[in-house]
Amino acid sequence: MVLQVVVAPAQAQDSSHLGYFFQTGGAIKFSDADSKAPGYACCVVAADHYGIVVYSDLSSVYVAHTNKLLAAASKELKSPEVLDPATVCIAALAMPGVTALSLSADQLLLGCVAGSTVQVYSLPKLLHHQSDGPVHTLELGKKILQFSWCPNDVTTYLALTFDRVLVQGSLPVGFGPLADSVECACWSPDGQFVAYSSGNKLLVTAPDWRESAFTVAISPAEDEDGDGNFIVDSITWPAPNAIAASSLWHDSSNEDEPEGSDGYLLGITWTSWEGQPTAAPQGLKAMLTSYLTIQVSIDIVDTGSSYIHPHCKIY
């Protein structure tokens, strides 16, 4: 089954609920190492069941209660005093080079990614000082760019390697390839499906399917200068019937200034879906825009945007 939809331009009403609000509680520094962890969001996870935060500064991985971090935070944001981790942290794991952290859905397992290896720790054992050693070690053979646990199976995971191969694995049985030429990927909220991007395409499939249920392809924009294409570089699946992604217009004629690439947001929604291969959802819609919000309340999805891009096809 092939479904093609071209989204027409449209204007959306302004929302009084939109905005960004930050309050800085202070800064914490446990090391003098002058380094920045790539992908700040990947290097911090919060376990609300325990009221703790885990983060990496590329020299160690720290586990601490949120309230103790706030109490010890310095108001000197640019140059905070270096603290002894033992005074604040539950655990400080000497693990240099950890570029990503992943917490299982039940918040029992913590995955620490360094190079081609994932060290898996038991969070309860760390909290109760029962053991500070890993309970599992995963070796994928190639540098890992992305790692995430399945929401409904704490032993299953997705990993994206440096050669852009997306693999699915399980702690007892190993791993195998799911797709290649992949930029990024994520699980559905129920853990039954996977959304991943390849170039200018976003595909939705399941680990045991041989083909995707539907694909969203972004066509070249008429208002973009030069030769190039869209690259979907991040995906999230925040609700059962909504996917959000970011994409960049990569101008191949302007390789010297990649920072000049235009960014867009892609929103995909549908009304119902049987969850079968080659069967697209009912009421499938896609919006590509320079500004997009997907507000979710229970099973109601309200999407608003300042401008909906007309160059989006679903098939």
Q: What is the pLDDT of residues 135-163, one digit of tens each?
A: 999 999 999 999 999 999 989 999 999 99
Q: Mean of the per-residue pLDDT values for the chain? A: 79
Is pLDDT of 123 > 80? Answer: yes
Instruction: Enter the pTM of the model.
Output: 0.81
pLDDT bucket at 180, cuts 50 / 70 / 90:
very high
Question: What is residue 213's predicted lDDT score, i.e. its pLDDT?
Answer: 85
Question: What is residue 19's predicted lDDT score, i.e. its pLDDT?
Answer: 54
pLDDT in tens, 27-63: 888 887 665 555 556 789 999 999 999 989 888 999 9
Order of strands, sheet of 214-218, starting from the edge strand that comes earlier in the sequence: 5-6, 312-314, 214-218, 201-205, 194-198, 184-187
pLDDT bucket at 102, cuts 50 / 70 / 90:
very high
Is pLDDT of 69 > 70? Answer: yes
Per DSSP, helices labelled H in 55-181 are 66-72, 123-127
Q: Which residues contact 223 (CB under 8 A, 6 or more apart)?
A: none
